[in-house]
Each structure stands twice: as C-alpha cells, then as structure tokens.
Amino acid sequence: MSYANLIVEQRDAVTLVTLNRPQALNALNSEVLRELGEAFATYEADSSQRCLVLTGSGDKAFAAGADIKEMVEKEAADFYLEDFFSGWQTDVVKGTRKPWIAAVNGFALGGGCELAMMADFILASDKARFGQPEINLGVAPGMGGSQRLTRAVGKSKAMELCLTGRMMDASEAERAGLVARVVPHDELLDDAMKTAATIASKAPMAAIANKEMVNAAFETMLEQGLTHERRLFQILCASEDKGEGMSAFVEKREANWKGR
C-alpha cells in the first residue's frame, strides 16, 4: 500500500513507518492521522511483522504537533461534531496490541509528543525536544498529553511544561522518565531498528502479554494490575512457546518460536 504522507517499509519482521511531511515539520493533519491508522492496522494484521518503529523524516522533527493550519479554520462545533483526534488515536494506534517504538529524531511537540507517548517506549536522539506548547495557541493538549505526560513525568514537571509551553531537551526527558534511552542523532534509526529486531525475535504472544501487563500498571489500580499480570502469566504458561522457551533454556539451544 502506498501513502501520500508516510513511508512504510518492512525490514524482515520490523515495520518502519516514517512521517513524511518534512516541509511542515511532519505536522499531523487529518490525512496523516488517517494514513497512520491504516499503516498500524496493516502492521497489526500481518503476522510476519513483530515490531514497528515510528519516526519522522528530515533532520528536524518527529512531529511538530497537530496541523495548526488545518485547525485554524475550524470552529468548536467542527471539533466536537468530528470528535476531532478520537478515531485513529483510541481505536487504532493506542489499541495496537503488538509492540511499537517511537524513534524521536527532533521536535516532538503537542500532538507529536502525544503520539510519541502512545508508543510502548520512546528512543530519543540527542537533538530531540519535547513539549506541550498548546497554551501558546490559546488551547491545551487534545490527544492525551495532559494525562500521559503527567503519568510519565509526574504532576510538577507536566504542569510546568503545559503551563509555560517550554520544551525540554532529550537528556531532561530521559532524567524525567519520559524516554527509555537517548542515543547520538546519527545512530537513532539504527539503534531503534536493532532494538525492534530484538523484540521481534522474542515469542510473539509473550511480547503482546508483556505489553498488556505493563500498560495495566499505567491504566489500573495496583491490585487490579497485579491480578491482570498473574492471569496473563498463567495464560502464557499454556502456550506452546512457554514449553519451547523453557525446554530450549534447559537444553542450551535457541528457541524456535511458534507464536502460540
């Protein structure tokens, strides 16, 4: 499938999706978001693909936010009636059960930061900048920023970033727990693809269950999360890959995953 605003490639078991509007710093308009939903749905449905990396084209930006030039024309009724930002975000990208990584190569602002925070984790180039500058436009985050940023970095820093519109650099974002690792700019994509290949080499069902458990820590109270984790662990113990993985360890050989 070809896209107007994305480049989608499959490299072995890893899908690489590149936001491709560098002239607009990869700003997210409705068309980009619709295509992103399609690319993620295709990834989710293709059993040969086991991890996805999302990055931005050009040297400057992952995504500089929702497209202000598209939003400037809309009135409140349009945003409400279209349930703007809802469909692709909640149904497809957030709902993807298979793992995916955001490789943030530059500005990740507003909706760009919010999109990166939907990933299972963020790898950042040392040139990455994160922020929720919506207040500078007279609005506020609309794609989950106030909730996900606060859960990631705590109330004080999230509040400061939202209220001032200030950007934080990659090392501050790493110290705050927003990003998993910072890597030199020129090595970001290689590192992200290697990390994704490592994830793709694991038992696929266990990868989905690991993701679901960690997300439960984010989305539920502790007791519910612990029960959820225990049940998923027990379900995994009924899989062929549990038998294969544990036998391979005992027999000192590589596991041959079945994916079930």
Among 37, 65, 99, 204, binds ligand CAA (CB under 6 A): 65
112, 114, 206, 209: the catalytic one is 114
Q: Does 115 bind ligand CAA (CB under 6 A)?
A: no
Nearest-approach distance from CB 66 to ligand CAA, in angstroms: 4
Among 134, 196, 200, 216, binds ligand CAA (CB under 6 A): 134
Give the residue with the Cβ less far from ligand CAA, 58 or 245. Answer: 58
**Hey, what are 239's tokens?**
């899989």
Q: Does 99 bind ligand CAA (CB under 6 A)?
A: no
Cα–Cα distance list, 219 to 74, 224, 226, 227 (Å): 32, 10, 12, 13
Give the residue with the Cβ less far from ligand CAA, 64 or 124. Answer: 64
30, 83 contact by CB (below 8 A): no
Among 145, 152, 168, 200, binds ligand CAA (CB under 6 A): 145
The rounded distance, in Å, linking the Cα atoms of 146 and 113 is: 11
Q: Does 107 bind ligand CAA (CB under 6 A)?
A: yes
> How far, rounded to the nearest angstrom, does the alpha carbon of residue 143 sit from its chain's CA centroid?
13
The rounded distance, in Å, linking the Cα atoms of 110 and 137 is: 11
The rounded distance, in Å, linking the Cα atoms of 9 and 1 is: 10
Q: Which class for 58: exposed (0-12), middle (13-18), buried (19 or more C-beta within 10 A)?
A: middle
Concerning whether 124 is annotated as a catalytic residue, the answer is no
62, 26 contact by CB (below 8 A): yes
The region of 40-48, 64-72, 168-176, 251-259 touching ligand CAA under the rule CB under 6 A is 64-72
Q: Does 109 bind ligand CAA (CB under 6 A)?
A: yes
β-strands 6-11, 14-19 pairing? antiparallel
138: helix, strand or coil: coil
Tell me the number of residues near ligand CAA by CB under 6 A.
23
Binding mask 24-43 for ligand CAA (x = CB under 6 A): xx-x----------------
Concerning whether 251 is annotated as a catalytic residue, the answer is no
Q: Does 66 bind ligand CAA (CB under 6 A)?
A: yes
Concerning whether 111 is annotated as a catalytic residue, the answer is yes
Binding site for ligand CAA (CB under 6 A): 24-25, 27, 64-69, 85, 107, 109-111, 114, 133-134, 136-137, 141-143, 145
